[in-house]
Amino acid sequence: MWFNSFSFIAFFAVVCVVHWFLGHRLRNLWLLGCSYFFYGCWDWRFLGLIVFTTTFEFVSGRAIGASESAKVRRRWMMASVVVEMSILGVFKYLGFFVTELHQMLRVFGWVGEPSWTLDILLPAGLSFFTFQALSYTVDVYRGQTKATGSFTDFALFIAFFPQLVAGPIERSNHLLPQVENPRPALNARRFRIGLYHVLTGFFKKVVIADNMAWLGNHVFQVSGGLGELNGLEVLLGVYAFAFQIYGDFSGYSSIAVGVAMWLGFDLMENFRRPYFATSPTDFWSRWHISLSTWLRDYLYIPLGGNRMGKWKTGRNLMVTMLLGGLWHGASWTYVVWGGFHGLWLVVNRFVVKERGALGGEWKGMLGMVGTFHLVCLGWLFFRAESMGQAGQLLGLLGAGGWVWTPYAMTCASLLMFFVLPWVAYEAWVERAGSDLVLLEKPWLVRACFYGWLLLMLLWFPPPMPSEFIYFQF
């Protein structure tokens, strides 16, 4: 049940209407049932996995909260880490590591051709809900969150359907209190903010991401081989993918925030105009914020953060980003993508920042253009089918032969048609310095803006609907 499906709209209408007729406790129970139904629509077999994770973390949290002994508390916390990492390891990484190990042993001639393949089905949203569950136990251990006594509330915190399969990865001290306590009624402000998020989310997903998808796919899945492409086509294809992944993921997050808002919840913002970032640090404070802050709080800082000198800070950045890359999937392209961002953060921290650079307006503009292009370079690795393909595409980019082919002309035109107006809108928001500046404008301005979104949604649907990219993570 995709967010951009008629089934979801019908499902949400029923959920919302029934929800508003119930009292607080029954609402939680209703939302939990609906969340499990929502997840069961993907694959009911993995519901057991969510229930297991929920039960284990609930018990761990209670045990940590109830114990005075540091040793016992630490044991439960470690058990929680081991269990969640094992689940991730088995479902997400086992196949990859077994294959890679086999390849390595083959190189040494110790094993022959495999007569089997390890093909493990990946549960939807596994990386999101395991991270969310794990952060709860760690927060209880750190004393930042009080262990909850209600299993229903905790289960809803883990499985709340708007953010269950693709985030934002919520924190226990932010979402859990909203589950436990009565939530605000749907008033004008909440309706307005929810409408803004839902409409812009649908626009980013359906109009921007899905219309960019087939343009980007052409470069990365060209049937006649990469030799058919020229450098300009590769560049434009990577731009198309950059806006596809942004529209896809931030669109999903916006819809999640909007529908949660109508149910009385405030989810965290996951994106803040990332392509206006002027440095890698700035980029990571705007892109997938819930993951980057999770990695900061539960990995980078426990490793020592920036408190242990240059070399260790650099090491911590690299480890964090490499694991962040691996979080996205079991593939070397993700690892290289993470490593690229880690290296870039290190260079930015110790070379660019210390030497200083251009000042004023120019710094901002150059920083923005440079950061965007380096982010695109990262996306090339991220999207490539293999490291070999990434290398070939990089070679094509550098080889010249930049000719305006029909594909290049179409790609450039459609980027201007679909993406440029949205970038102009974001530039206006960025300049205003307020995420919801549109909502402060007169109703007619909002209405015209929504009218444009709606007509674009109606009249410019993608030739091929695409699945949400981040569901596979």
Partner 1 sequence: MRSEIKVLLFLIVCLLAGEWGTRWLEPALSKDVEHLAGLETMATRLEPRGRSNVLLLGNSLTRCGIDQGLLREGWRLPSGEAAQVETMYPDASGILEWGQGFRRYVMETGSRPEVVVVGTGRVHLIDSSEVQSERLAAWLVPKDERWAFVKDQKWGLEEAIPFWLASWSRLFANRERIEPLVFYRLVPGYEETSRLINHERGLAMVGRSGGKEQGAVTTRHLQRLIDDVAKVGAKLVVVAMPVPEKYELPREVVEVLKANGVLVIDGGSEHAMEVERFPDGYHLDAEGARRFTTLLIERLNASFGDTGPR
Residue 414 touches partner 1, criterion: CB under 8 A = yes
Is there a contact between 66 and 147 (Cβ–Cβ < 8 Å)?
yes
Among 213-221, 250-258, 333-341, 427-435, which window interacts with partner 1 (CB under 8 A)? 213-221
Residue 117 touches partner 1, criterion: CB under 8 A = no
Is there a contact between 398 and 226 (Cβ–Cβ < 8 Å)?
no
Is there a contact between 56 and 22 (Cβ–Cβ < 8 Å)?
no
Q: 121-141 b/e with 16+ CB inside 10 Å = b?
A: ebbbbbbbbbbbbbbbbbbbb
User: Closest approach of Cβ 162 to partner 1, in Å?
Assistant: 19
Q: Which of residues 161-190 bind partner 1 (CB under 8 A)?
A: 187-188
Q: Is 174 tagged catalytic?
A: no
Residue 121 touches partner 1, criterion: CB under 8 A = no
User: Closest approach of Cβ 467 to partner 1, in Å?
Assistant: 10
Catalytic choice (19, 102, 288, 328): 328
Residue 472 touches partner 1, criterion: CB under 8 A = no
Is there a contact between 53 and 129 (Cβ–Cβ < 8 Å)?
yes
Is there a contact between 250 and 146 (Cβ–Cβ < 8 Å)?
no
User: Closest approach of Cβ 409 to partner 1, in Å?
Assistant: 4
Query: How far is CA 401 from each of CA 227, 322, 379, 412, rounded to the nearest angstrom?
Result: 12, 34, 22, 17
Q: How many residues make up the chain in this entry?
A: 473
* Residue 141 vs 220, nearer CB to partner 1: 220
Residue 14 touches partner 1, criterion: CB under 8 A = no
Q: Which of residues 47-76 bind partner 1 (CB under 8 A)?
A: none
Among 156-164, 307-315, 318-326, 459-467, which window interacts with partner 1 (CB under 8 A)? 459-467
20, 97, 191, 428: which one binds partner 1 (CB under 8 A): 191
Q: How far apart are CA 215 and CA 213, in angstroms?
A: 5
Among 118-126, 264-272, 369-377, 441-449, which window interacts with partner 1 (CB under 8 A)? 441-449
User: Closest approach of Cβ 221 to partner 1, in Å?
Assistant: 7
* DSSP codes joined into one string, 331-352: SHHHHHHHHHHHHHHHHIIIII
Q: 343-372 b/e with 16+ CB inside 10 Å = b?
A: bbbbebbeeeeeeeeeeeeeeeeebbeebb
Query: How many CB atoms sit inside 10 A of residue 308's CB?
Result: 12
Residue 451 touches partner 1, criterion: CB under 8 A = yes
Residues with catalytic roles: 328
Residues at the site binding partner 1, with contacts judged by CB under 8 A: 5-7, 9-10, 187-188, 191-192, 195, 214, 217-218, 221, 223, 405-411, 413-414, 417, 443-444, 446-448, 450-451, 454-455, 458-461, 463-464
